[in-house]
Every structure is written in structure tokens, then in C-alpha cells.
Amino acid sequence: MGDSLLAFFTIDKALEIFNANKAKGFWGENPTDRDLNEVSALILSELFEGFEALRKRKFADQRYVAEFHQCAFYNEDLTVRNSVVAVRGIFDTKGFEEFIKDRFEDEIADTVIRCMDLVGYLSWEMGARENEPIVGVWGGPTNFEYSHELLYLGFQAHLYCFDRELIEDWAESNREFAVNVINFCIAVSEKYGFRDTLLQHIELKLMYNTTRPFKHGKAF
């Protein structure tokens, strides 16, 4: 597993994602009032969207992803498919929506972001040390069936994801669920051949999200 990918999974980065989503309105004025079952359901919804994209063979062009990422993050003008995808410092939302958004890899990246958001919230509430890696992130075996794992993670969410009023170790249970889903996403990227660009997909989606309206134009 590439060091750059594993290095992404830190408490600092989780808090950064949580704060960005809080600023977009997803956590309301008081984050502790949010129903964590909703957060877990949204994580699962991204996995289901990924399954649907896989079923429809909606994949991103990985060469395009790498070049788009270089253009967006390294402030270079690049020509991709005979068109400039970004001018220095400007994120090309239309290009992202046309070639990357809602593809299988993008949905897996979305899932990771949702998990990091949950870990970030838990770290914020429990006062976790910011300069620490997220314990337990390493990936997983690739000899799996996506549908089987999807159902298993749904069952695990039912067992693990409790609100604070129900069990004493509610925070650790929710964190463990999020980490298990992150490991599954890493394994998915390995199995389907985009491990080397998973971090690029995550970073591009995070940048795209900064251009979106309050709650990304959704109810929750």
C-alpha cells in the first residue's frame, strides 16, 4: 500500500473534513444533536451508489484523473482530450462532473470522505490527539464479492452504530465501523485497479465539494 494513501488517514485530516462539512451545514449549530444513524446510513448509501456504478460499468478514465489532479493541485495548465481542463488556480467543475463525478471510483472516494467525516466528529467530541494516525487503517483482502461485503457492512452498522444514549462505548463502536468501511474501500480500489489513484479521487472530490452550495443543495 502506498505510503501517501495511508498517510492521508490521520486525525488531523478527519477533523479538517468534519470542519468543512460542518461549515456546509451538515452538522448544524450543535454537532452533538445530529443522529449518528443518519451518518452511518449516508456511508452505506455511498457504498450502494458505488455498487450501482459498478453494475453499470461507470468507470473514470484513470489517465484523465491523474492529469486533472496534477492540473488542479500543482497549478499547471494541461490539455486533456483536446481541451484545457483547468487554468491556474481554477477548478474545472464541469470537467469533473463530465469525466469523474458519479463514476465507481468517485463513489468509493465519497464513501471514504463520509467515514473520515464521522471519525472527525468523534475525534472532535472525544478530544482525540490531532497529530495521530487513525488506528486500524491498513486495507484488506481482495478475495471478496462486493455485494456480500455490502450486506455485511450494513449488518455491522446495525450492530455497531449506536447513539451515545444507548451504550457506553458508542464512540469506539462508531469509529470501528468507519475504519472497517475505509479498509473495505482500500481493498476495493486494490481489486478494481485504482489503488494508485484513490487518493487523487478523494482529494479531487474534496476540492469539488468546496464549490458546492449549503448542504450540497440537499436536505441533509
Q: What are phi and psi of 25, to 5 degrees?
A: 100, 0
Cα–Cα distance for residue pair 153/217, rounded to 1 Å: 28
**Contact (CB, 8 A) for 163 and 211:** no
Q: Is residue 72 part of a domain?
A: no
As a whole number, mean pLDDT of residues 7-35 equals 95
Identity of residue 147: S
The answer on pLDDT for 220 being more than 80 is yes
**Residue 72 confidence class, pLDDT cut points 50, 70, 90:** low
Pairing verdict, β 79-80 and 83-84 = antiparallel
Q: Is residue 159 part of a domain?
A: yes
Rama region for 217: left / alpha / beta (φ>0; ψ in -120 to 50; rest) = left
Please state, in angstroms and as integers, the Cα–Cα distance from residue 35 to each residue in 42, 74, 129, 216, following that order: 11, 38, 24, 19
Q: Is residue 75 part of a domain?
A: no
**Residue 81 confidence class, pLDDT cut points 50, 70, 90:** very low
Q: Is residue 92 part of a domain?
A: no
The predicted pLDDT at position 172 comes to 87
Q: Considering only residues 96 and 19, tell me which one the structure prediction assigns the higher pLDDT.
A: 19
The answer on pLDDT for 85 being more than 50 is no
Q: Is residue 214 part of a domain?
A: no
- Number of structural domains (the chain) is 1
The answer on pLDDT for 91 being more than 90 is no
111-166 confidence digits (pLDDT tens) = 999 999 999 999 999 887 777 899 899 888 899 999 999 998 998 888 776 666 66
The answer on pLDDT for 180 being more than 90 is yes
The predicted pLDDT at position 162 comes to 67
The answer on pLDDT for 4 being more than 50 is yes
Q: Is residue 96 part of a domain?
A: no
Q: Is residue 131 part of a domain?
A: yes
Buried b (16+ CB within 10 A) or exposed e, 143-166: eeebeebbeebeebbeebbbeeee
Q: Is residue 129 part of a domain?
A: yes
Domain span at residue 119 reads: 3-56+102-193
Cα–Cα distance for residue pair 58/200, rounded to 1 Å: 18
The answer on pLDDT for 105 being more than 90 is yes
